[in-house]
Chains A and B, each alone.
Chain A
C-alpha cells in the first residue's frame, strides 16, 4: 500500500476507534468496539441513543478531540460515528471549531 494512503487510513481509523471508546465509556454502552457499526444510526434506531445522550456526546467529543459542535452543524454531523469522524477530521485539518 502506498505510504500516504496507509497514513490516511490509519488517521481515519484512529479517530473512529477513539470515538468508539469515547462512546462506550461516556454512554456506558455494553458493546465491544468491534460490535459498533460505524455507519449505524445513532438516534431513533441503530444505537438507539436519545436526546439526553446528545449533550453528553457533544461534551465527550469536545473533551476527547477538542472539537466543539455548533448546533446547526450537529444535526447533520451526529448521524453516525462516521459522520462525527468526518467532522473531527475536518476540524483537525483546519485547527479550529467545526
Chain B
C-alpha cells in the first residue's frame, strides 16, 4: 500500500458486486417470502401485542408474530432474538452467495447493531462474558462464529444508520484487499425500553406511521438483513443482484436527537455518494428515504434530499419503507437497501403506505399507493440518518460500472494527537516512561506516579481544555472525547471554519454502552416507570452519542463512522479513517477517536502472571490528513494498513508492511488486554513475521504502565508510536538502551480474539 507505487498491481476496485441477500423480518423469513410481501403491498405495522402499551398511548409497531418468533426460537434455541434474526438472514445470504468458494478467513463481517440489551451492569459482571451484555462486539463475534466467518468481524454502531455505515466500511475493506467477500448486515429488535425511550422523546405515532402524510409519528419495527459484497473480479458468484456503486456519509453537528432542520448533512451524504458512484443525480430513478414519519425528520430529510439531488430532480420518486416495516433501528440501513435492490430488480418503486393527506415540505412524488408502482430504473439511492447526526447514503445499481481508473493513493500523515487519561491531558509519555523507570521497556509496574490520581479522569483536567465540556448535556464519555479531540486538533494546527468543516470527519471507536448514561436510564425506569423514562439519558445511550457531541463542539460535517468492536477498536478506527481519507479527495482530514468510560463491569480476564491489569477510562484522538502542506518535521506517515481475522495477525502485519522487509521495522507498539489468549496470538504473529528475536528495538506494550481501556488502549499505543517518532520522548528515555533514539519505522498492532487484528505501519518522515 505504499503511495509511491501509485496505481498498484492489486488495482483498487470500485463498485463491489452484491452477490448474496438474506432477510428475516415480519414480512418474510427469507428473500422470496419478503419479495412476495413487498410486491403485494403487505403492511407489517399493526397493534403491538407483545407487551402492554396502555401507559404509552402509542400502540403500533411492526413486530413479528408469535408463530414466527416461536419458529425462530426453535431454530436457534437459547439465542437472543436479534442475534437469531441476524444469523438467519446471514445463513440465507451466505448460501445465496455460495460463500464456501472462499476461505473462511478471507470473508469479513461488518454488522450494524445498537444497544438492545438493557440489563443492569451489575448483572453482567456476575454472569461473565457468556451473556452478550452491553458489548455489541460480543454479539457480532457470535454471529461471525455461527456463519463460519473468520476474517475481520466488526460491529458498527451509529444508531439508526448503523447498517448503512456498515456498508461504507465494507466497501473500504474490499477495496483494500483485506477480504475477498464481506457479509454486511444489521439487526434490530424492539425491547420495551427502546419503545419507552422513543415515546419519551415524543417521536412515536399513535397511528400506523404515515411519512409525508398525517398523522405524524414513527412506529418501531424489528428485523435483520444481510448482503454479501465481493470484488467484481473475484471468483464467479452464482448470481449478481446488483452493485454498491457509491457511498457517502456526513455529520450534522446539530443536535443529539433532532436532525439539522435544513438537511445539510443529508445533502452532503447524498452528494458524496453520487460523486463516489460517478453518477449524475438525473440518472437516479428512486430514492428510499429514512422517512421515519416524524415531522422533524421527514421535512429536514426532504430538504436535504432535494439539495443533494438538485432542483432539477425533485420529481424523482421518494418513498419511505418505514411505512410498512417500521423503524428497525440498526437494521434500517440494510433492510432498506435490500428493499431498494429487490424493488429495482422487480421493476417497481416501493410505496409509502398509510397516506391520508399530504404534508407540506414533502417530496412531490412520495409514491402514495397501496402497493409498489411499476417503474424501470437502473440506479437508486437509499439514505439513513441517526441520533448524533450521523447520515449515510448509498447508491445501488443494476449494472456494473464502466471501468474507472483506480485513484492514486494519498500520502497520509498523522497531524496531531491528544489524549485524556487518569494521569491528565496528554500525559501518556510521562505515564509510560515513569512506570518503566525512565526507560521504554520493562515490566512497567504501575506506580503512584504512573497511575495518576487513580483510575478515573479528573474533572479538573477537563476544565482547562474547553469550557464547553461543562455543557450539562454531556456525559463523562462525551467530555473525554471532546477533550481529547480538542487537544488533537490543537496539536494539528488545523482550524475548523466554514470552508474546512465539510472536509473534516470523525471515526469513533467504542466498546461498551456509556456507563453513566445507561445507569441514569435504568434509574429513571426504576424511579418513574417505563412511561417516565429519561429522554436525555435515552439519547446518550446510543454508541455514537459522544461522537455526535464531538462533531457539534468542533462543528465538523465530514464523513463519519463508529467502530464498536471493543478491544482494539481504536486502531481499527485509525485504519478506517485512513481508508476513508484515501478514497475521498474532498476530505482533508479525519479524526479517529477512541473512548472508554469506567463503570461497566467488564468480566475479569485472566492476566499474564506478573502483570496486574488496571482498568482505566479516557479517550485518545489522532488527526490524520493529507501530507501536502503538513508540518514536515517529525510527523508520522501512514505507510501501510492491514486488517485481518482474529487468527491471522501475521497476515495483517504483512499487509501493513506491503513489501517492506520486516528487518527494516524498528519496533512494534501495542496495548494488549493482558489475557493469555491475546498474548498468545500476538506473540505468534510477531514470531511469525520477525522470528523469535522480534523487531530490532523490541515490542512495547503500553498497557502495564498506562492501564487498560478496551477501545482506547490500541489508540494509546498508536499515539505513543507517533510521539516516539516525533522525538517527543524525554532525553533520558532516548538515551536509555536499545541504541535507537527514535524509531523510523514502527508497526502498531492490535489483536482482538473477538473481532479482528489490525496493523498500521508508521514511517517517520
Contacts and interface: CB of A to CB of B under 8 A. Distances in A.
Whether chain A touches chain B in the assembled complex (some CB pair under 8 Å): yes
18 contacts: A27-B472, A28-B472, A28-B473, A30-B472, A50-B255, A51-B201, A51-B258, A52-B535, A52-B536, A52-B539, A54-B202, A55-B200, A55-B201, A55-B534, A56-B535, A59-B524, A59-B532, A59-B534
Contact of A56 (B255, B258, B527, B536): B536
A92 interface: no
Contacts of A29: 472
Nearest to B296: A51
Contacts of B528: 59, 63
Contacts of A28: 472-473
B535 A55 contact: yes
A contact patch SS: helix
- In the A-B complex, the 4 residue pairs with the closest CB atoms: A28-B472, A55-B535, A59-B532, A52-B535
B115 to A, nearest CB: 17
B202 A51 contact: yes
Interface string A34-53: 00000000000000001111
Nearest to A50: B255
B257 A52 contact: yes
Contacts, number: 34
Nearest to B539: A52
Nearest to A63: B528
A53 B202 contact: no
Contacts of A50: 255
B580 interface: no
A55 B535 CA distance: 7
A63 B534 CA distance: 13
Contacts of B255: 50
B470 interface: yes
B262 to A, nearest CB: 17
Interface string B518-560: 0000001001100010111001000000000000000000000
Interface in B569-617: none
Contacts of A27: 472, 536
B256 interface: yes
A43 to B, nearest CB: 13
A50 B535 CA distance: 11
Interface in B442-474: 470, 472-473
Nearest to B258: A51
Interface string B237-267: 0000000000000000001111000000000
A91 B532 CA distance: 21
Interface string A46-77: 00001111111001001100000000000000
A55 B470 contact: no
B663 to A, nearest CB: 56
A56 B473 CA distance: 12
Contacts of B257: 52
Nearest to B532: A59
Nearest to A58: B532
Contact of B201 (A52, A59, A62, A63): A52
Interface string B652-663: 000000000000
B538 to A, nearest CB: 9
Name the residue among A27, A53, A55 with the largest chain B CB count within 10 angstroms: A55
A55 B528 CA distance: 12
Given A52-B201, A55-B201, A55-B534, 16 more contacts: A27-B536, A28-B472, A50-B255, A51-B201, A51-B202, A52-B256, A52-B257, A52-B535, A52-B536, A53-B536, A54-B202, A55-B535, A56-B536, A59-B524, A62-B532, A63-B527
Contacts of B527: 63
Nearest to B527: A63
